[in-house]
Structure 1
Amino acid sequence: MPTHVALVRGINVGGRKLAMADFRRILGELGHTDVATYIQSGNAVLTSTEPDSTVVADGIAAALDRELGLAVPVVVLDRDEYARAVADNPYPAVEETPKLLHAVFRAAPIAQAEIDAVAQVVEAAREKTGVPDDATAVGRVLYLHLPEGLGRSELATRLLRPPFTKAPDGGGTARNWATVTTMQSMVEG
C-alpha cells in the first residue's frame, strides 16, 4: 500500500486545537493504516489504499472539518514526493543547524508567477534588513534559508502572509528542517 506524509496547516496555534489522538483516530476511521504522528503540529505518516495524494488530502481536510470543525488546508505527499523534497534541498550546508531552514509544502507545484513574486520579496526583504535570507522554490516546496531564524525574518513574515497565503492551499504549510528529516525517517520506517 502507498505511504503518504500528511501535513495539516495552522493547528494548535491561534485557537485551532487538534489533539494528535483525535488526528490518529480520524485517519484510522478514514481507512488509513500504520498511522503515526509526530509532535503536536499536525504531522502524520500513514498507509492508504488510495495512491493519489490529492484525494488523501481532500479526505483528511473534509474529515477534520466535519468531525472537529477545523477548516484547515492539508498537504499530502506520497513517499517518493516526500523523499524528492528532502533530496532537493538547495541549502544542504544548513542541515547542521535545522532551525535555520524551513520547507513550505504546497498542494501543487509552485507556478512561475509566484516564483517571480518570491524573488521580488527576497530582494525587498534583503534591502530592508541587510539579512541574507533566501528562498528557493523546487516543485511543490518553497525552501526558506533564514540565517537569523524564523521569528526575526522579514522574508518569512512577508512570504507567510497574503498574497502568498491566498492560494487554495492557504500558501502551504511550513515545517522546520528537523521536523522534515524526522518525518523522512518515519517514512523510511
Structure 2
Amino acid sequence: MAALGVPRHARQRLARTPQKRQHRRMTCFIALLRAINVGKRQVPMAELRMLVTGLGYGDVQSHVASGNLLFSGEGSAADVERTLDAAISERFGFPVETMVRTADQWPLYVAANPFPRESEAAPNRVLMLLSKAPPTPDAAARIAERAQAGEIVRAAGGAIWIYYADGVGRSKLSPVFIDRMIGSPATGRNISTVRKLAAMAGVAA
C-alpha cells in the first residue's frame, strides 16, 4: 500500500501539479463507481474519500456504500475519470470503473427522466444507467428486446433508463448483456439516488 493510501503514480501526478489553485475555476464532479461492495470487491467509503482527497480533490463526500462521490477539482470529466479508475484500482487491488460527470450535467439527467409517474410510485424500480462511452444509437431498442414482465427501456438525456416493473432482482437484463448492448461498461442508480446526488451538489432540478 502506498503512503497515506495514495498510489505512487498519483503522488507523482500531485508532485507535477501546481499547488496554487485559488485562481483556478474548480468544477464539482459526481462519480459513480461500478460494482463495488459486492463479494470480495470491498471499497470502504472512508478509505475511498481519503484516497480521493489525497489525489488533490476537495470537498469530498460519499453517499451510501454503492459508490457515489461528490468532489471538486480541475480538468475535464474524462481526465478525472481516468485518474480515479487508475488510482482506485491500484489502491484496492481489483479493477474499478468510474463514470464521472460534472454537477452541471446532473439536472439534465433528472429532467430527462422518461418515467416520472413510475418514479413517484416506485422510485427503487426506475434506474438510470451511465456508461463510459455514449450509448450506441440502438442500445435501448436492443435491451428492450430481452425485457419482460412489464420492463420498459428508454434512451433519454444521454443515459439509458429502465423501469423494472417487478423489481431489479427478478430481471433477466444482466449487467454483461446491458454493457454489450450499450457498447461500453455502464453502472446504474435508482431515481432516488439520482435526485439525492443532485441535491447534495446543490443542483436539484
Pairwise TM-score range, normalised by the shorter structure: 0.7 to 0.9
> Is 1:66 aligned to residue 90 of structure 2?
yes
Aligned to 1:57: 81
Instruction: State the partner residue of 1:8.
Output: 33
Specify the alignment match of 1:150 in structure 2.
168
- The equivalent residue for 1:33 is 58
Do the aligned residues in 1 keep the contact of 2:57 with 2:71 (CA within 8 Å)?
yes
Q: How much does 1:114 deviate?
A: 2.5
Pairing 1:184–2:202 present: no
Q: State the secondary structure of the residue aligned to 1:161.
A: helix
The 8 Å contact of residues 118 and 159 in structure 1, kept in 2 or not, is answered as no
Unaligned runs of 5+ in 1: 126-130
One-letter amino acid matched to 2:83: G
1:115–1:137 CA contact under 8 A, matched in 2: yes
Matched-pair identity in % = 27
Where has structure 1 moved over 4 Å in runs of 4 or more? 166-169
Alignment correspondent of 2:69 = 44
- Asked if 1:93 is matched to 2:93, the reply is no
Displacement of 1:88 after TM fit?
0.5
Q: CA deviation at 1:119?
A: 3.3
How far off is 1:139 after superposition? 4.3
Q: Tell me: CA distance 1:82–1:159, structure 2 relative to 1, closer, same or farther (3 Å).
A: farther
- Of 100, 113, 135, the match for 1:76: 100
Q: 1:33 to 1:54 in 2, by over 3 A?
A: same
User: Do 1:95 and 1:177's aligned partners in 2 also have CA atoms closer than 8 Å?
Assistant: yes
Q: Which has the larger radius of gyration?
A: 2
Letter of the aligned partner of 1:35 in structure 2? V
CA contact (8 A) 2:143 2:173 kept: no
Question: Of the two structures, which has the highest relative contact order with CA contacts closer than 8 Å and spacing of 6 or more?
Answer: 1
C-alpha distance in structure 1 between counterparts of 2:184 and 2:34, whole Å:
9
Could you give the per-residue CA deviations for residues 65-95 of structure 1, whole angstroms, max 9, x where no partner exists?
A: 1111131110001112222111100001122
**In the superposition, relative to structure 1, how do residues 37 and 94 fare at CA in structure 2: closer, same or farther (>3 Å)?**
same
User: Displacement, 1:149?
Assistant: 1.1
CA–CA distance in structure 1, aligned partners of residues 45 and 158 of structure 2: 25
Residue by residue over 1:92-148, the C-alpha shift from the partner in whole angstroms, topping out at 9 and shown as x without a partner, is 1122221121111112221114233223223xx3xxxxx211011124311111122
**Root mean square deviation, CA, Å:** 1.8
Q: Per the alignment, in what secondary structure is the counterpart of residue 135 of structure 2?
A: coil
TM value normalised by structure 2: 0.79
User: Which segments of 5 or more consecutive residues in structure 2 lack a partner in the other structure?
Assistant: 1-25
Q: Name 1:133's counterpart in structure 2.
A: 151
The corresponding residue for 1:175 is: 189
Q: 1:160 aligns to what?
A: 175
